[in-house]
Amino acid sequence: MNVPENLRYAKSHEWVRLEGDEAVVGISDHAQAELTDIVFVELPAVGLEITAGMAVAVVESVKAASDIYAPVGGIVCEVNDALAADPALVNTDPYGQGWLLKVEVRGCEEVDALMDAAAYAAQITG
Amino acid sequence: MTDADFRTTPLYGCHQQAGARFIDFGGWRMPVQYAGIMAEHKAVREAAGLFDISHMGQVTVAGDGAEPWLNRMLSNNLERIEAGECQYTFLLNERGGVIDDLLAYRLVEGGFLLVINASKRETDLAHLRSHLADGVELTDRSDRFAGLALQGRRAAQVFDAFFGENVSRPSRNQVRRLERAGTEYLVARTGYTGEDGFELFFDASAAAATWDGLLAAGAPAGLQPCGLGARDTLRLEMCYPLNGSDLSPEHTPLEAGLSFFVDLEKPEFIGRKALLAQREAGVTRRLVPFRMTEKCPPPRAHYPVYKNGEAIAETTSGNLSPTLNVGIGLAYIPAEFARINEDLQIDIRGRRFAAVIEKKPLHRPL
């Protein structure tokens, strides 16, 4: 499983990449493989205020709908509109074109509190 | 639950080797997918797929009294099929509700084979045994048999590669005994995907060799192992009902739109009186297929169905159609609205999305 070194990870399999004040959020390669063929992604409204741990998106495979939890709190400032036409991007490029949303964060404490790649890799192989 | 709580088929090791993911289905640990549900669905529609159906039950009925007795137990008329043919039929309760849907084969050597749903094995057998008559031998052979469904547009090509080009294939709904490499196969031209295909039943000891042999023979045709995930999306596109979801003891075959498989002209069978009364009074609900008409999450079973702002039903099945790339499903709709082109709304996690009632099947294979 691909676990990029430069990202932070939540226990519930979301990843975060901090770009200035914005946290880009997606789901890990492990999560997309577990969910299997993704056929629909429901994303939050831009402007929504969220807190860490909140269910903010739903990813649906042929088998089931799964909640995706905010790894960090803040204001949703952008969502990945490309997923409406091609939800399978989450499967094929989970750390790139398959990102889910961007969150305007206050400070980086919540991001720093997430797992690093080594800790997350240990969680999914453990 | 522990592994010991689930039954596995003789092909469990083959599934593990093929990289299957498993789900628990009617007390069985079965493969839900290998490469992926979408890819497997496509393989069946465009090439061929191989499904383990060893979990299904096989019951033989023999003896002088077999035919008249079985004809009183089942809704369809066994007199309509000849030796070496099979028919789709129902086991009904006294209220005309569906206990199980099954295939009944009239075997060439005499007697009948019933292929029943895995989750209903005990229920069906208890029901049949409670009505057993003299001169009828009912035998559960489920544990002796393995079963494989070879389905897809290129299924005949795979059949030829496996059994030999000079071995004649059974025709639609026909069943034939064939031998290959010392194993005897009961091969029927049946299936539940809407595509051409075969169902093979044979001694469980030959399961792995048959699985490997078919996959090797079918590789040039693009044959892929397929799990229950694709089996469900394939049958849903065809509007074939799944017992336990779309069929239940609370609904009759008339409500399910399957009266073709009920012969009310037969003098006697369990459920007949209730069905005659229902036909006379008219059904109040009908199982209809629908298609979502706006972009939305895939519908699933047990989602509320709305008409004119009122909740009128609940979906019994739903999913994304991999072929049509839209949400599809089935629901028992009040008869007044159960018409083609009628607009509905499906409540998907608190939001209502537009849908329309369609004609069966939702997908028509080439």
Task: Report chain B residues whose CB lies below 8 A from the CB of A42.
Answer: 297
Which residue did the predictor score with more confidence, B366 or A60?
A60
Length of chain B: 366
Confidence of residue B1 (pLDDT cuts 50, 70, 90): very low
Q: Under 8 Å CB-to-CB from B352, ≥6 apart: which residues?
A: B306, B345, B346
Taking residues B90-100, what's their average pLDDT? 98
- Residues A67-86 have pLDDT tens digits of 999 999 999 999 999 999 99
% of chain B with per-residue pLDDT over 90: 97
Give φ, ψ of A89 to 5 degrees: -60, -30
Which is nearest to B299 in space by CA: A64, A52, A7, A37?
A64
Tell whether A39 is within 8 A of chain B (Cβ).
yes
Please give the model's pTM, rounded to 2 decimal places: 0.93
* Number of other residues whose CB lies within 10 A of the CB of residue B282: 8
Give φ, ψ of B41 to 5 degrees: -60, -45
Q: What is the mean pLDDT of chain B?
A: 96
Taking residues B337-342, what's their average pLDDT? 98
> What value of ipTM does the predicted structure carry?
0.83
Q: What is the least distance, in Å, from the CA of A36 to any CA of chain B?
A: 7
For residue B348, what is the nearest residue in chain A, using CA coordinates? A65
Measured between alpha carbons, how far is B49 from B155 in angstroms, rounded to an integer?
8
Tokens for B159, please give them: 């059949």
**Do the chains contact at A58 and B298, CB–CB below 8 Å?**
no
